[in-house]
Chain A
Amino acid sequence: MEWFFYGFAFLMAVAITASAVFALQWASKKGQLRDFEKGAASIFDDKEPIGQPTDFFPGKAPKSPR
């Protein structure tokens, strides 16, 4: 019985490793590892643009936010 579980654990480990290799290959194919500037800027948008801090202590923001 225990060899069944060892086998199961081993297969899981192989599957997890294979999925990591697949994820890396997929990322590379889809261009996720290119154009890093675009990647870094992807969390900003028109409403929360680059150059605008978004968090202040309540009531303690500078008078004229950039």
Chain B
Amino acid sequence: MASASSLAASISPGTPADTVPRAELSEIDDSTKSPALFFLCSAILWLLVGTAFAVISSWKLHSPEFLNQWEWLTFGRARTAHLNTVVYGWAVNASFAVSLWIMARLSRSVVRHSGILMLAGAFWNIGLTVGIIGILAGDSTSVEWLEIPPYATPMLFIAYALIGGWTVVTFRFGKSEHIYVSQWYLLAAFFWFPWLYSVAQIMLIFAPARGTVQSLVNWWFAHNVLGLWLTPVGLAAVYYFLPKVLGKPIHSYYLSVLGFWSLALFYNWAGMHHLIGGPVPAWVLTAGIAASFMMVIPVVVTGINHHLTMVGSFHMLKYSPTLRFIVFGAVNYTLSSLLGSTMADRNVSEVVHFTHAIVGHSHHGLYAFFTMVMFGSIYYMLPRILRKEWPSAMLISIHFWTTAVGVIVMVIALSVVGAREGLEMNNANIPFIDVVKHTVAGLELRSYSGMLMTVGHIAFAVNFLWMLLKPRTAQNSEPTLFRQPTPDLETAAQ
């Protein structure tokens, strides 16, 4: 394939030297356009669907009669549909888009064979649609995080294998000599997830292991979806966008590499803390707890590194939408991981296990960290893919403040109400119905905060759609955007 420099030179031999790197970068960005847009559109559609299921199931927890005339919207199905749409619909589609874009940029390699990616995307989304309809129809497997019925999962696996294979090819044919830390994270994530998914499918659905081994496999898988797939993708995005937006290298590259390898070493073991108190061998739990505490090393290392990179640049939060989301996400990565390690302690787990605090913790990790980082990444990527500005700064602000405030309120409400619930459940003198009644105020607050976040998602979706449909004007057709975004400067430069 002709490189950007040879193309530029053959079209116009007098091309200025600085046009070449710019053309190369925008050629790379351009080549990601169709697959990235496809994954982003799917991600945002699933985000809206998942939010609707979230609000429905959250509302049912304090008003059980809500929508109870339809069996396909009963709590067990609506909540499961929520989990699967936001994880496999929103989070995975968004991470496909973000990681392929980052991978192409970092490998300095244009996207080849994007048809493979489109095919994979079609498989993924059709498989997921069939799966969600199956869940609503009552075909859920009842294995947490693997509820999608077995007739839909092979399609998801094929999609994943295609995308994973493509990532390795892009990396292999890349021109960059150095592997940036984000590439370590992405390559590892794309390598780990098919392993997790195939082993869990085989040992839980197709040839189920017997007895408690099932629950061990279940939590090994469910925790690692977050730890070995979504966390590496989220951290890869933070490690790329944080320095890139600020225009300064990461504070300590050494620490970032240390963070990666310690995560690779410890995270895989940590999922067993979900079974504390369960009938599984004690040494397995102890190993899981020890690994959960060892996770403090990569988390603190990563937190310090991000913080020291930001020091001196906090004023940039005022100007950059990407930075706001990314910094919010990075801070919450540190917080939710440290809280997670604490919750793995036997004494703490005795209280919080089987309470709303765990649900709060999941939203802390999956939303306050991962989803916010994906939002930030999309705000950076899309103008470079489409070569247009975001149409409305106000909608970005609304999106940020509603989701940030919403998720903080939700996590605090669920953690407080969950801790109280746990303490009361451990006290045999308190009737169970009283324990349940005491959670209602917190659950209502969760529903309201969820509605606030829904407003943010709608603002995001509107801005996204507006951006897709908006015609490209002279002011916003430059390939590298946001350099001098004020219209007068733009016009002066032309």
* Chain A residues engaging chain B, CB cutoff 8 angstroms: 1-2, 5-6, 8-9, 12, 16, 19-20, 24, 27, 32-33, 36-63, 65-66
Say whether B391 faces chain A, with CB atoms less than 8 Å apart. yes
Contact between chains at A38 and B178 (CB < 8 Å): yes
Contact between chains at B209 and A19 (CB < 8 Å): no
Contact between chains at A43 and B240 (CB < 8 Å): yes
Contact between chains at B480 and A48 (CB < 8 Å): yes
Contact between chains at B483 and A19 (CB < 8 Å): no
From the candidates A36, A47, A57, name the one contacting B319 in the complex (CB within 8 A).
A57
The 9 closest A-B pairs by CB, nearest first: A40-B249, A40-B253, A36-B253, A55-B320, A52-B247, A47-B21, A42-B178, A57-B393, A55-B245
CB contact under 8 A between A24 and B254, given known A40-B243, A43-B240, A58-B390: no
Residue-by-residue, is B392-430 near A (CB-CB < 8 Å gives 1, otherwise 0)? 110011000000000000000000000000000000000
Whole-angstrom distance from the CB of A26 to the nearest CB of chain B? 10
**Interface on chain A toward B: helix, strand, loop, or mixed SS?**
loop
CB contact under 8 A between A45 and B482, given known A16-B192, A56-B319: no
Roughly how many angstroms separate A39 CA and B176 CA in the complex, as a whole number? Answer: 11
- The residue in chain B whose Cβ has the minimal distance to the Cβ of A37 is B253
Q: Can you add 20 more A-B contacts, CB < 8 Å, to A54-B244, A54-B483?
A: A2-B210, A5-B207, A16-B195, A33-B257, A39-B181, A41-B249, A43-B249, A44-B247, A45-B21, A47-B18, A47-B25, A52-B247, A53-B316, A55-B380, A57-B397, A58-B389, A58-B393, A60-B485, A61-B484, A61-B485
Roughly how many angstroms separate A10 CA and B393 CA in the complex, as a whole number? Answer: 52
Contact between chains at B482 and A63 (CB < 8 Å): no
Roughly how many angstroms separate A59 CA and B179 CA in the complex, as a whole number? Answer: 35
Whole-angstrom distance from the CB of B468 to the nearest CB of chain A? 15
- The residue in chain A whose Cβ has the minimal distance to the Cβ of B476 is A58
Contact between chains at B322 and A55 (CB < 8 Å): yes
Whole-angstrom distance from the CB of B178 to the nearest CB of chain A? 4
Say whether B248 faces chain A, with CB atoms less than 8 Å apart. yes
Within 8 Å CB of A52, what residues of B? 247, 483
Say whether B151 faces chain A, with CB atoms less than 8 Å apart. no
Whole-angstrom distance from the CB of A11 to the nearest CB of chain B? 11
CB contact under 8 A between A50 and B178, given known A1-B207, A36-B257, A57-B393: no
- The residue in chain A whose Cβ has the minimal distance to the Cβ of B376 is A55
Whole-angstrom distance from the CB of B295 to the nearest CB of chain A? 17
Within 8 Å CB of B203, what residues of A? 5, 9
Say whether B38 faces chain A, with CB atoms less than 8 Å apart. no
Within 8 Å CB of A38, what residues of B? 178
Task: Pick 29 A–B contacts, CB within 8 A, sort by A.
Answer: A5-B203, A6-B209, A8-B202, A12-B198, A12-B199, A16-B195, A27-B179, A39-B178, A40-B243, A40-B249, A42-B176, A43-B240, A43-B249, A44-B244, A44-B249, A45-B25, A49-B247, A51-B247, A52-B483, A53-B319, A54-B247, A54-B482, A55-B379, A55-B482, A57-B319, A58-B392, A58-B485, A60-B393, A65-B483
Contact between chains at B22 and A53 (CB < 8 Å): no
CB contact under 8 A between A54 and B245, given known A16-B192, A61-B319, A63-B486: yes
Within 8 Å CB of B21, what residues of A? 45-47
Within 8 Å CB of A48, what residues of B? 25, 244, 247, 480
Say whether B321 faces chain A, with CB atoms less than 8 Å apart. yes
Within 8 Å CB of B110, what residues of A? none
Contact between chains at A43 and B243 (CB < 8 Å): yes
Whole-angstrom distance from the CB of B228 to the nearest CB of chain A? 10
Within 8 Å CB of B25, what residues of A? 45, 47-48
Roughly how many angstroms separate A45 CA and B250 CA in the complex, as a whole number? Answer: 15
Contact between chains at B178 and A62 (CB < 8 Å): no
Contact between chains at B243 and A58 (CB < 8 Å): no
From the candidates B22, B316, B323, B393, name the one contacting A59 in the complex (CB within 8 A).
B393
- The residue in chain A whose Cβ has the minimal distance to the Cβ of B485 is A61
Roughly how many angstroms separate A44 CA and B21 CA in the complex, as a whole number? Answer: 11
Roughly how many angstroms separate A53 CA and B322 CA in the complex, as a whole number? Answer: 11
Say whether B354 faces chain A, with CB atoms less than 8 Å apart. no
Say whether B106 faces chain A, with CB atoms less than 8 Å apart. yes
- The residue in chain B whose Cβ has the minimal distance to the Cβ of A45 is B21
Roughly how many angstroms separate A58 CA and B463 CA in the complex, as a whole number? Answer: 12
Say whether B191 faces chain A, with CB atoms less than 8 Å apart. yes
- The residue in chain B whose Cβ has the minimal distance to the Cβ of A52 is B247
In the complex, which residues 210-233 of chain B have their Cβ closer than 8 Å to any Cβ of chain A? 210
Whole-angstrom distance from the CB of B176 to the nearest CB of chain A? 7
Say whether B261 faces chain A, with CB atoms less than 8 Å apart. yes
Within 8 Å CB of A39, what residues of B? 178, 180-181, 253, 257
CB contact under 8 A between A40 and B250, given known A2-B209, A61-B486, A63-B486: yes
Whole-angstrom distance from the CB of B101 to the nearest CB of chain A? 13
Roughly how many angstroms separate A20 CA and B191 CA in the complex, as a whole number? Answer: 10
Which residue, of A2, A8, A47, has the highest number of chain B Cβ atoms within 10 A? Answer: A47
Within 8 Å CB of B290, what residues of A? none
In the complex, which residues 366-404 of chain B have their Cβ closer than 8 Å to any Cβ of chain A? 379-380, 389-393, 396-397
